[in-house]
Structure 1
Amino acid sequence: MRKKGLYGVMLVTLLGCSSTSAEDEVISMIDGGNYNVSYLINEYNLTDLEETSYDYNQFLLYEELEGLFNDDEYIALIKKVQESSISEEVLIEPTVTLLENSFSGLLDDGDSVIAKNRYNDLNDEYKSFLSHIEDEINLVEQERKEASEREREEKEEEARSKIGDYIEMIHNQDYETLIFETLSGTTEVEENYYNLANAYDEFFNDSSGLDETYIHGLQSMAEFYLGEISNPDPETEELIESLYTMIEMRKNEDAGELGVIVGMTVEQVLSSQWGEPNKVNTRTTNYGVREQWVYGNGHYLYFEDGILVSITTRDY
């Protein structure tokens, strides 16, 4: 029993020397600027020691940061630093270097917006080390905006060079081709001629055999597309005015033939040749008040909130 107790004392002493020796080796590596010591920290369980020269969990964290950087996981690295701040003095400078290189990596990848957001989320301590990064981000943002503006101007100039072709398509009533060519356009010129082509297409849609309500709907859609056009050039303005004139002429023709047109108010209809209806059917919903005016012989007018929206009629 006496020998066994002595053996136990010797074993504890050896283990104590082993941990101390391992920590001395780790301290020597750290003092020499080598912070990749996780394999020794884990092998000798140095994080379990009560009293140590360094917080070894910090070195494990730092190696994790290095791994993220080597894998080009810049966003994850920055987020990790935000969540688990490095406090060991010897690790602050290399951690700042990792952050600096990560932000540079984001900027090189063209992710200036993400870089700016991540920088703004950093605590003030890291921002004090990385104030020059903010200047770099702003510079890249400015260059990006200038490049985007140049690209927009080039596209606008290219689109303006096609205005003559667009006008010719309108004159040739080749609306579908013009709609297709400008459908994905991002310039104001392309968007304007997309709307103009749709307006003409709706107005000149073959309406033979269609009821008056549908025809009025086509006119309304034509006016809607015309209303979407902004800052038109002089050539476009002429085409817009021409179509507006034709729409008004058609409305006047319809009013002359039917006596009423879609869009009239209740008062205007009552003042027209239709006059008072024989019967009014009213239905109130969550969307408003809908009325059916019955005149007999298959003649009906439909109002929504006091505005004529539909006409059903036989030869009148």
Structure 2
Amino acid sequence: MIRRFTLSLFFSCLILIVVGCSPNQAVDEKQATGSGTLEQETILGLVTSDNWEEAKLKLLKPEFKNIEDYNEILAYVDARNDYENEKVSGKISYEPIVMKLNSIDLDTYDGKLKEEITAFKGELNDEKNEYYESFYAKKREEGEQKQKELDKIYKRVSEEDKLKESLKNKDYNEIASLLVRKMDYDVESKMLYYFAMSEVSRKEGDSDMMMYYLQSIPIAYEGEFSDLFLKTKLKIQSKDKWIEAERDMVRHRAEVEKMFSRVPPAIGMTASEVRESSWGGPDKINKTTYEFGVHEQWVYSNYRYVYLEEGIVITIQE
């Protein structure tokens, strides 16, 4: 009797254990199978609704880093977030955005966003190419217009005759305008140009520029107009003082040449290295701070830009 009761109790407990454990085991298996699914659906939902900033912030959280195709989705969301923010500002930095998209290998990636990423990448490249075509077309147009103006200014029936007439009349403004294009390849024209500009500066009351141009004519120079140059210079100060001034100018020009001989900015440089480059410091810095880091756009003259992420150069636009 006792033995029968014991066996009955044993089987009852065994049934309870099996029945009691099965639901928990099923839950554990379900959780293991669905790991990351909820997070991925959340991200895809934000992408579908074009909520790029929130999607990016979530992707930086630890619990979202185990979703399928994490690196590709993060790169795409990051690029779209930058594009949408910069589109609002009216100035889009295409190169950094394209670099982020290019980090996605569309030949191997076959995730749910492949078609969307491919389409956006194509649209962005078309937009970038259109922007640069418009930009360079505008620069060409400006250059052509400037050249027309220069041609109109410097068009002469006989420049030699004009020069002789201007020298006779001591029209130094005219002399300078006639020689400015020849001074880079003709020494006599350069010396006469400097002298003409010194006379123009003197008449305008700018003694500093007058001295600068006269110092640019070596005291030992011997040319067609050297007597005129020397006579004018010695009325101002002695020969020894002119020699000393020339030496100071040579030293100054050497320092300037050394400065401009520095290397231009390069990808991988630090911010301090860019400042020490031939471009020097920027005219303006546009800084954007995100949760994941700092993006900077350094603006230089002549439409030159340097882009930095966390103080490191990633793109250079000239």
TM-score (norm 1): 0.38
